[in-house]
Chains A and B, each alone.
Chain A
Amino acid sequence: MKNFFKRFYLAIILIFLYVPILVLIVQSFNAGRSRAKWEGFSLRWYGELFTDTRILNALYVTVSIALLAMVISTVLGTLAAIGIHAMKKRPQAFMMTLTNLPNTMPDIVTGISLMLLFLFTKVSRGYWTMLLAHITFDVPYVILSVLPKLKQMNKHTYEAALDLGATPTYALTRVLIPQCKSGIITGAMLAFTLSLDDFTISYFTTTPLVQNLSTLIYSAARRGIEPTLNALSALMFVSLLLLLLIVNRRTAEKT
């Protein structure tokens, strides 16, 4: 009985979280443009999706920025984590404050501060400034997921490798990095997801010329959402879900 109540409660919360998503997916199959009226099943919006260059461009910008930001911030972040780990107490504390700074800043302030930087230096905003901003908010998350792994590691492993004749580079690539691999992967995934979903910071660091999906949706939302965007997000949702299932099965097989 008690367990039933717990399951029931969790089910209600999950329904609350999933209802809008279901609505969205159902709407993407609606033949009409209307949000509320069902005018028959159709794949029309999926067809139009692939001819809408604005949406495809935005998709390209979103995905390419997420991937580039992920790679660059993972490299930068991993190196930084190794560096910070090797520091003495004081500089380490300073670096940690610096790393935590973006987390304590609301997105809108981060976005605006970067916008001011670009306006002040007269750098015209667009693809590159958006990428820069994404790397900036991604790196701390990479550091925060790699650092704990380094701390768990035996302090002397690295030195032992050196004593046994490894060059510092060799010790780094063959000893240090493999040891914190799981942290690096978590950090990279986190960076990718954050970058994919970001709206506020992108909004302030680009112009209407270069739009990612979020900013495109934002401007489209004002005149009533295009059903093609529903179709796109339904597709992205399902593909991410499939990816998750595949990854899950693989890890299940391994263990």
Chain B
Amino acid sequence: MIRNLTLPWWAWILMGLCLCGFVALVVITVRRNRGMKRSLFAAPYTLWMILFTVLPVLLIAYYAFTDANGAFTLDNFRNFWDSNYESNKVILEVMGEDGAAYVTRGTVNVDTLVYSLWMAFQCTLICLILGYPAALFMADRHMKLGSTLVVLFIIPMWMNFLLRTIAWMSLLEDSGLINSFLKALGFNGVQLMYNSGAVLLGMVYNFLPFMVFPIYTVLNKMDYRLSEAAADLGCNGWQTLYKVTMPLSVPGVISGITMVFMPSVTTFFIPRVLGGGNTMMFGDLIESKFLTEGNWNVGSALSLIMMVLILISLSILRKADPNGEGGGIA
């Protein structure tokens, strides 16, 4: 493992400089400590984040705006809009005038993005519908189940998510457990796998806990006397839920939506296993751009577009929860 760390000379120099900077910062930190500069404790972290988070993101932007030779271009974004952009150029080159008949705008990338957003929307909605009552019941003081249930919700996440998804495959296959069971009872088998329904199931299964936790955290912190007061003032159960509990749980819901929506848009393993490769999601597309086609520039452009989309939706969501009160998973 260590043997494989071979670097070009300038990388060694760069690393050496970083190390020197690091040591210098530590020395300064210790010296300044007398002068009470505790804020310098964050220096190593800042350096780390700049090197391994900010710089890589800038690299994505760099690749997105350049061509294979490193010259500035917007072609990669044209490629997003028209997935046939490259191939159309080739067709016209090879066939000349006759090629025009074969030139069409390719909608693959845009379609895939729209489809991913649609799937992520459905997944988030289902998680919310299933997860909200679960969180509500968990937080119910009369049930006295809260902390045990939280643990019960966390435990499944310790098992590798790839394996859990594959386990669904053995349940859903035509020759799988559910269908064998149905057939044993004399029914006809049902096609459960290789469609977007199965992909959706896999997504809901994997992301449901991310919806339940934040809502539960908020509901658990809520002052239960508020709902008691509502009841004293004449609200029935539904009215209390609708007028008191729900509005107060908004931060949790927002946080839950964020935590489910984001990984859903970018899923790239579940469609392949449960959807049988019949449908592509945006994550699959990005992965294949990098690892099958070896086209980093277009791949970077697609990643950048996704990042921007997510940042926009996050900032819209944040408007609904300006104080960021929604508890995370932590």
User: Taking beta carbons and an 8 Å cutoff, which residues of A are in contact with B?
Assistant: 3, 6-7, 9-10, 13-14, 16-21, 23-24, 27, 35-36, 76-77, 79-80, 82-88, 91, 95, 98-99, 101-102, 104-110, 112-117, 120-124, 126-128, 132-133, 135-136, 139, 141, 143-145, 168-169, 186, 190, 193, 196-197, 199-200, 204, 209-210, 213-214, 217-218, 221, 225, 229-230, 233, 236-237, 240-241, 244
Contacts and interface: CB of A to CB of B under 8 A. Distances in A.
Interface stretch (B38-46, B189-197, B222-230, B239-247): B38-46
A104 B266 CA distance: 12
A220 to B, nearest CB: 9
- Please give me the 10 A-B residue pairs with the lowest Cβ-Cβ distance, nearest first: A83-B42, A113-B56, A83-B41, A80-B45, A20-B167, A86-B38, A127-B1, A106-B266, A35-B170, A6-B137
Contacts of B163: 24, 217, 225, 229-230, 233
Contacts of A230: 163
Given A9-B134, A9-B137, A107-B266, A83 B45 contact: yes
Interface stretch (B71-79, B80-88, B103-111, B143-151): B143-151
Nearest to A200: B268
B156 A21 contact: yes
B18 to A, nearest CB: 12
A225 B166 contact: yes
A85 B146 CA distance: 32
A126 B167 contact: no
A82 B167 CA distance: 44
B171 interface: yes
Given A7-B137, A105-B307, 20 more contacts: A13-B134, A14-B152, A14-B153, A23-B167, A80-B45, A84-B42, A86-B39, A87-B39, A109-B60, A109-B307, A114-B52, A116-B296, A124-B5, A133-B52, A135-B48, A168-B34, A199-B161, A217-B160, A217-B162, A233-B163
Contact of B328 (A109, A127, A144, A236): A144
A98 B39 contact: no
Interface residues of B, number: 93
B33 interface: yes
A107 B263 CA distance: 8
B159 A79 contact: no
Contacts of B44: 76, 79-80
Contacts, number: 249
Contacts of B290: 112, 115, 204
Nearest to B264: A106
B48 A76 contact: yes
Given A7-B143, A83-B38, A233-B159, A186 B330 contact: yes
Given A6-B143, A199-B269, A109 B303 contact: yes
Contact of B38 (A77, A82, A186, A221): A82
B114 interface: no
B1 A210 contact: yes
Contacts of A6: 137, 140, 143
A86 B269 contact: no
A95 B46 CA distance: 8
Nearest to A224: B166
Contact of A23 (B33, B155, B161, B177): B177
A105 B258 CA distance: 11
Nearest to B307: A109
Contacts of A98: 46, 49, 53-54
A108 B170 contact: no
A35 B262 contact: no
A9 B133 contact: yes
A169 B33 CA distance: 8
Nearest to A176: B38
A164 to B, nearest CB: 15
Nearest to A240: B158
Given A109-B303, A112-B303, A145-B330, A86 B52 contact: no
B5 A221 contact: no
B23 interface: no
Interface string B295-307: 0100110010011
Contacts of B262: 104, 106
Contacts of A233: 159-160, 163
A87 B177 contact: no
A41 to B, nearest CB: 17
Given A86-B39, A106-B310, A214-B162, A113 B60 contact: yes
B159 A91 contact: no
B155 A241 contact: yes
Contact of B4 (A91, A124, A240): A124
A36 B180 contact: yes
B27 interface: no
A123 B155 CA distance: 37
A169 B36 CA distance: 11
Contacts of B328: 144
B89 interface: no
Given A24-B159, A128-B1, A123 B286 contact: no
Contacts of A123: 5, 7, 11
